[in-house]
Amino acid sequence: MSTEPPILDVFWQHRTIRFFLRQPIPPEHLDLIIQAGRRAPTDAQGQMFAFIRVTDPVLRDRLATLCNDQQHIRDAAEFFVVCLDVHRLRLLVERCGRAFGMGPRISLIYGATDATMVAQNMVVAAEALGYGTCYIGAVQNNTDVIARALALPKGVLPLYGLCIGVPDPERIPPYTRPRIPQALTFMENCYREPSPEALDEAIAVMSARGDWRDNLVRYFAAGGTMAQREPVMARAWRQQGLEVDGSPVNSER
Number of domains comprising the chain: 1
Q: Summarize pLDDT for 32-53 with one digit per residue, the tens.
A: 999 999 999 999 999 999 999 9
Q: Beta 49-53 vs 20-21: how paired, if at all? A: unpaired
Cα 41 from Cα 43, distance rounded (Å)? 7
Q: What pLDDT was estimated at residue 44?
A: 94
pTM of the model: 0.94
User: Does a structural domain hold residue 189?
Assistant: no
Q: Residue 230's domain is classified under what CATH number?
A: 3.40.109.10
User: Does a structural domain hold residue 53?
Assistant: yes
Q: Which of 55, 52, 57, 62 is nearest to 85 (CA)?
A: 52
Separation of CA 212 from chain center: 22
User: Does a structural domain hold residue 112?
Assistant: yes
Residue 251's pLDDT band (boundaries 50, 70, 90)? low
**Beta strands per DSSP E along 60-114:** 78-85
Q: What pLDDT was estimated at residue 248?
A: 77
Residue 5's pLDDT band (boundaries 50, 70, 90)? confident
Question: For residue 192, what are the CA distances in angstroms to 71, 155, 187?
Answer: 41, 37, 7
Q: What is the mean pLDDT of the chain?
A: 95
Residue 246's pLDDT band (boundaries 50, 70, 90)? low
Q: What pLDDT was estimated at residue 253?
A: 43
User: Does a structural domain hold residue 196?
Assistant: no
Please state, as a whole number, how many other Cβ atoms lie within 10 Å of the Cβ of residue 66.
Answer: 18
User: Does a structural domain hold residue 62?
Assistant: yes
Residue 252's pLDDT band (boundaries 50, 70, 90)? low
Residues in contact with 23: Cβ distance below 8 Å, sequence separation at least 6, in sequence order: 77, 165, 166
User: Does a structural domain hold residue 32?
Assistant: yes
Concatenated DSSP letters of 40-95: S--GGG---EEEEE---HHHHHHHHHHTTT-HHHHHSSEEEEEEEE-HHHHHHHHH
Domain residue limits at 108: 8-176+222-239
User: Does a structural domain hold residue 89?
Assistant: yes
User: Does a structural domain hold residue 26?
Assistant: yes
Cα 75 from Cα 60, distance rounded (Å)? 10
